[in-house]
Amino acid sequence: MEAIDGVAITERLPADYRESDATGRVGQRLVEALAALHAVDWRAAGLEDFGRPEGFLDRQVERWSSQLERYRVRELRYHGELGEWLRENRPEPPPPTIMHGDFHADNALISATEPVEVRAIIDWEMATIGDPLLDLGIFLAFWGDERPSHPAMPRVQGFSRAAGAPSRRQLADHYTALTGRSVEAIDWYMVLAFWKLATIVEGAYAQFLAGELRSDYARELEQEVPRLLHEAAGFAGIS
């Protein structure tokens, strides 16, 4: 490993970014980094045993629903209904690629000064071989001003809610232009991304209630998990 000169962007762009379209260029560079990751020949890289790509989407709802039952501490509105929606509307997946599993701006290191460059992608705990559109789904779910006025985890890509930022559709189309992959089912992937994230971090909230984890982040999950599920329900058209 080596030291990388870069910053993780959350609520604000670096102070030295001056161009009026800087937010858009950050979004484009992140999509380009994601497309480059998904273009890696994972077999040639010796990653045949890194994941189980066959049936990856088929396993998601059952796997994470079972995980929730191990630490369930409350009823979560929309969780079961979204699980059924995901099963019933599952799209035909593209060929598998390396996937990061938790791709958003603060899991990348970006140049602190212009021109905008993605210097590294970091935090690989969720990486596997699977469906690349799930990476795009979580990135877009956290992106832009199409989110509720009080979104879940507002610091994540908070900078993207600035005026003039590209829309989710524009960034999804940029990904298609780079990769040739259809994004017709991207709403399904955004639902899966937030539903899965809510399921995972509910485990941290259970630890908080048990006194095993003490942090502001864990405490805030009391509200953040329901907000994730509420946004996922919006993507699915569930009221």
Q: Which two tokens stand for residue 88?
A: 């019933």
Phi and psi (nearest 5°) for 99? -130, 140
Domain for residue 2, yes or no? no
**Given this model, what pLDDT does residue 163 score?**
83
Domain for residue 42, yes or no? yes
The CA distance from 219 to 239, in Å, is 27
Residues facing 110 on adjacent strands: 7, 118
Domain for residue 126, yes or no? yes
The alpha carbon of residue 93 and the mean position of all alpha carbons in its chain are separated, in whole angstroms, by 17
Domain for residue 127, yes or no? yes
**Given this model, what pLDDT does residue 44 score?**
96
Q: Domain tally for the chain?
A: 1
The CATH number of residue 29's host domain is: 3.90.1200.10
Query: Ramachandran region of residue 158, left (φ > 0), alpha (ψ -120 to 50) or beta?
Result: alpha
Stretches where the chain sits below pLDDT 70 are: none
The CA distance from 99 to 101, in Å, is 6
Q: Which two tokens stand for residue 135?
A: 């990476």
Domain for residue 79, yes or no? yes
Alpha helix locations (H) across 40-94?
56-71, 79-88
Domain for residue 40, yes or no? yes
**Given this model, what pLDDT does residue 20 score?**
87
Identify the domain containing residue 146 by its residue range: 22-236
Domain for residue 1, yes or no? no
Q: Which two tokens stand for residue 48?
A: 């045949």
Using one digit for the tens of pLDDT, what is the confidence trace for 170-211? 999 999 999 999 999 999 999 999 999 999 999 999 999 999
Would you say 152 and 12 are in contact if contact means Cβ atoms under 8 Å apart? no
**Given this model, what pLDDT does residue 33 score?**
98
**Given this model, what pLDDT does residue 48 score?**
93
CB atoms within 10 A of CB 72: 13
Domain for residue 11, yes or no? no
